[in-house]
Structure 1
Amino acid sequence: MLREWCRELRAAFVAEFKADGCLNKTALLLLVCLPLIYTILLGAAYSANVLNNIPVVVCDLQQSKISRQVVSNYDTSDRFTVVKHVGTQEELLKAIENGEAKVGLYIEPALDKNIKTAKPAEIGIYIEASNMVYGSASLVASEEINLNLLVSGSQRILERMTYYPDRALRTAYPATYGVRILNNPTHGYCNFMLLGLICNGVQISLFLYAADIFFKNRRKDWQFKSALLLGKLLAIELISGLAFSLSILLAQELFAVPLRGAWYEFLALEAAFIFFFAGLGMMLSLAFPNPILMIQESLLFIMPGMLYSGLSWPNEWLSTLPAYIRVIFPITYLAMPMRDLSLLGWSDLLVKNIGILAGAGLVCFSAAYLLLRHRAWQEVEV
């Protein structure tokens, strides 16, 4: 009995590597190539990390030393590049609307006069924010430049009032702010997003592969359903786990994503996630009458998971209903501890989430086992 069980276990394991005596191209394409391709494509998209040379259109109606200094500060910044000068506010707005620039700099004609007479002087900053990435980057960079201009102008006024330069600077800017960004020193999108997107690629590859895992070539009668499930699970864990780890290494080597956590923690999290998704995929593969329907239904399950996973919006700021909804999406239990391990080097969610994924995986495999026992099906002999 044990010998027969082990023989079927081995047959199920080998079947995921060789189909009809040939290399299993489906496993190679979906479980290995797809996550690696996701890593390279998405990493390349985020590799710039920060936005530089944001195009600026300028309307300088003052044309003085002060106004030219303002324009120069923007043009010499890494974040901005002046691409056009116009003569009216209407032309400035039109240049932004037709896509020639993302930021508009409007300097009123009475700027010098208002500064000298201590009246409010206004410099208008127009930011085209239909793309939030451009909007956020422009807002932060312009505030930094404007603060420098304000301090510099105040210092010069105080120097004319007989203040020494050092005292004038301390009076104009009494507190020096030292900003140090922790755990993501480049403040880049690639560090923040790429590992989570790789996790999403892995779950898609597992769903696609599991869709027809029990639908093709049903000519063999398996005596031990547990051996069949375990054999397939071990093969998927090995193939997908290897591809998952290679994808993370690619993220580090090609796109400089930090991996501060211990490797055994990454591997444990990967194994738990693959265990759950393999079980879920097998259960759904048996539950639906055909692979196409299974894929259609699973995509409805995958797509909202990205929104609720915490990748793009902090989980702490989810309202009550979304906070309850997010618990049903498995990527929630993978993406956040994966990013914490990468950037922080530790995660307080690690043990808890591994336990949740392992427990849910056991439930899925139990359901798959019951479905196997109560459904007539067969698979090709190896």
Structure 2
Amino acid sequence: MDVCPLVFEPIYRPKVWGGRNLTRLLNKPLPPPNDQPIGESWEVVDLPDAQSIVARGPVKGRTLHSLVDEWRADLLGRAPLAAGRFPLLIKFLDACQPLSIQVHPDDETAARAGLAPIGKHEAWYVIEARDDAVIYRGLRPDASRERVAEQLARDPASIVDCVLTRRARAGDAFYLPAGTVHAAGGGLVLAEVQTPCDVTYRLYDWDRTRPAGDAGMHLREGVDAIVADPEFATAEKRTHVTSIFTTVTRLVSCPKFRMEKVRFVEGIEQEIPYAELVCWIVLDGRGEIAYGATTEQFAAGDVVVLPAALRKARLKTHTACTWLEVTVPVESDLAEFDRPAAAALRDAPAGNRFVNLGVARAPAEKPNHAG
């Protein structure tokens, strides 16, 4: 069977800190009741206890893992599997209230605990932010792992004083390597890209009453997983590449994944030239992907997985479009990828630079003057 673009059924996760904003912002048909707070929409996932199901198209109803097994390099290209599974997990988060202050294990810590074969590295892109919204990320210079352990034992709420706070605005991106103490403050809607690991150690939950059956806090494991001084700046160094019709902004580049924001004007038509696995997290606009005799429509809220072996597919934007483009690093440099902005991104300085990305506006349709 030939490969095709993949869009999956969302998996909704109720959370005490969630809301109902994913319908308004991303066209998500949230499940009833209407007052149930939905915190997460899992868009692409390949875990033993959570599987994305293809929503439409020639392989509707198939699981992501079954396609990983069947298509292999035709889906993944040169991207490596993550412990035998699809290498990315993509979500939307609706944080009406603050998330728990938490930390995720790195590969070594996760394996040592026997909970997962890989650790959890992630990045957040801010889709919407309340005026007072903040991100908690990393420890203050005077806050060691030992101090965190002492304050959690004495007064759990005081851990907030150990964590750095940053204002969050729409369009911001935050890299969260494994071992980083972090939380999203209230009033944020986020796109999350991460490695396929679902291990979270909660350190403090704002004194909330948790639902029955909740596992509670994970203080010992969480303190053990903390990396006191993670490095963010290199991964978050932004580069902008602009042409007449397109803008590409590199947001996060780390060993596990790369995330760029791509903007196209209305009426663009071009061949999709990827030779590697690519995921589009569509934030705004509408368009279509034509391949063979089939067309896949996309709109804000869709996450589209483009297999590496997708050939002679064409993009057409019906309106101006913005999406996050997520790729998995391989052994060769990004500039060797067969993708529109690869060489330009390699050579461009950290600023604006006008380059030709090889895109063209679709010709206007001739008016029909027939009566």
TM bin (shorter chain): under 0.3
Name the structure where strand makes up a greater proportion of residues: 2
Q: Which has the larger radius of gyration?
A: 1
Name the structure where helix makes up a greater proportion of residues: 1
